[in-house]
Structure 1
Amino acid sequence: MAAPEFSSALFLPLDRLAEGFAACFAGYVVPISADVRAFEQRLRTEHVHLADSHVMVREGRVVALGLVARRGDVSRVAAMGIVPELRRSGVGHALLQRIFDDARSRGDRSVGLEVIESNAPAVALYERTGFQVRRRLVGWEGTLPEHSAPLEEVPLTTAVAAVLREGEPGLPWQLAPETLAGLTAPTRAFRLGSAVAVITEAGPQDVVLRSLVVAREKRRQGEGSRLVRGLAARLPGRRWKVPAISPEELGAPFFTAMGLRRQALTQLEMVHGLQEGESSSRT
């Protein structure tokens, strides 16, 4: 096969990119939609730069895609997919090398990504190209105990400020305050005392808990659990989900105590150190 040729994703309309995105993830562990609005929200909240992202187009069809997000001197492979007939053909390796070369030319410090842990071919590709595992990311799901509480709905900016002030350092990209700052309705934020939560109603039955933070001096005093139970009472009978983007050591006792079970799906957060001395190890 001839050497793959990539072009900037900036020059394709969003509907074609969204369609190509879904095609490149055909048969993926998690179903991927071609919905343009959902695709645009992903680009916006995760700080994907289309000018620095790459596509491979054949006969008018997107057959490979690498979305690159950027914050400061760190890049992230927000998504990389290849149509089924071109997988294991060297396209993925070539696409990653293109991303690394671009990042080095910008002076970036590192490139990160998340990959579903059970996706063995993808994990092997990333390891072969120099990525190292930083940590495992997990999610939680189930029903929550309901107990009415005097919740205050607050602007999302209040929640972002709370995460900046009280959140754990080094949060994964999708939990970082920069990501929360890009969220819009139907995402909402609620406060009880010093505890602040960000939730998204995902249809009539499911609620996604996007963020939960409690002031450091108020932790282990029940404010977080009272807030969560109050949210469950406000939205009774719903299924609650915490996406698999949380470090496994973060919040496990709390979510277990609240009656949630750990999801079977896990992810690996991986880092490629572009400059000498940059490295990461499994925690």
Structure 2
Amino acid sequence: MLARFADADLTWQTDPRSFQRAGPPLKGFALDGKAAVLLDDTGRHVRLYGLAVDPAHRRQGLGRALTDALAARYQGRRLFIIENVPDGLIDRFMRRIGWRKSALTQSEMVIDLA
């Protein structure tokens, strides 16, 4: 589901192809076949490695419903989305649902090898 719903130009760390053979400790959750998340809940905090909503169903509250369900499931624990999501890709959505951006970021650099 993450691969079907993913946006283009993701970093290799967040590209669903990097998780095609994911197994423990990563877990996946879905909401009505229209939203999905991949996470690791084995540490003190819960780290989200993938979060996607079917483009045909975006802006209908499914992303918020999924993150709210995770907050309820992991009550008392902090939820994080990994820092290497392409800049600006989910910032507006995350602010709208009340999450705040960490000071930790990742820079992407390119070198022409020609």
Counterpart residue number, 1:239: 78
The amino acid across from 2:101 in the alignment is R
1:182 CA drift (Å):
4.1
Structure 1 runs, 4 residues or longer, greater than 3 Å off: none
**Maintained 8 Å contact 1:199/1:207:** yes
TM-score (norm 1): 0.38
Ranges in structure 2 where 5+ consecutive residues have no aligned partner: none
Secondary structure of 1:175's match?
coil
Secondary structure of 1:246's match?
coil
Counterpart residue number, 1:199: 39
TM-score (norm 2): 0.90
1:216 CA drift (Å):
0.7
Please list the CA deviations of residues 107-163 of structure 1 after superposition, one character each: whole Å capped at 9, or x if unmatched.
xxxxxxxxxxxxxxxxxxxxxxxxxxxxxxxxxxxxxxxxxxxxxxxxxxxxxxx23
How many residue pairs match? The answer is 113
Aligned 1:80-229 pairs, distance under 5 A: 162-193=1-32, 194-203=34-43, 205-229=44-68
The amino acid across from 1:244 in the alignment is E
Counterpart residue number, 1:43: none
Counterpart residue number, 2:97: 258
Q: CA RMSD for the aligned pairs?
A: 1.4
Secondary structure of 2:89's match?
coil
**Maintained 8 Å contact 2:2/2:37:** no
Please list the CA deviations of residues 165-190 of structure 1 after superposition, one character each: whole Å capped at 9, or x if unmatched.
22111110100122122432121000
**Maintained 8 Å contact 1:208/1:243:** yes
1:231 CA drift (Å):
1.3
CA distance in 1, matches of 2:21, 2:78: 24
**Maintained 8 Å contact 1:202/1:208:** no
Instruction: Return the structure number with greater strand share.
Output: 1
**Maintained 8 Å contact 2:38/2:51:** yes
CA distance in 2, matches of 1:197, 1:173: 17
CA distance in 1, matches of 2:70, 2:10: 24
Counterpart residue number, 1:7: none
Counterpart residue number, 2:112: 273
1:257 CA drift (Å):
2.1
Q: Percent same amino acid at aligned positions?
A: 35
1:212 CA drift (Å):
0.6
CA distance in 1, matches of 2:81, 2:5: 19
The amino acid across from 2:65 in the alignment is R
Ranges in structure 1 where 5+ consecutive residues have no aligned partner: 1-161, 276-283
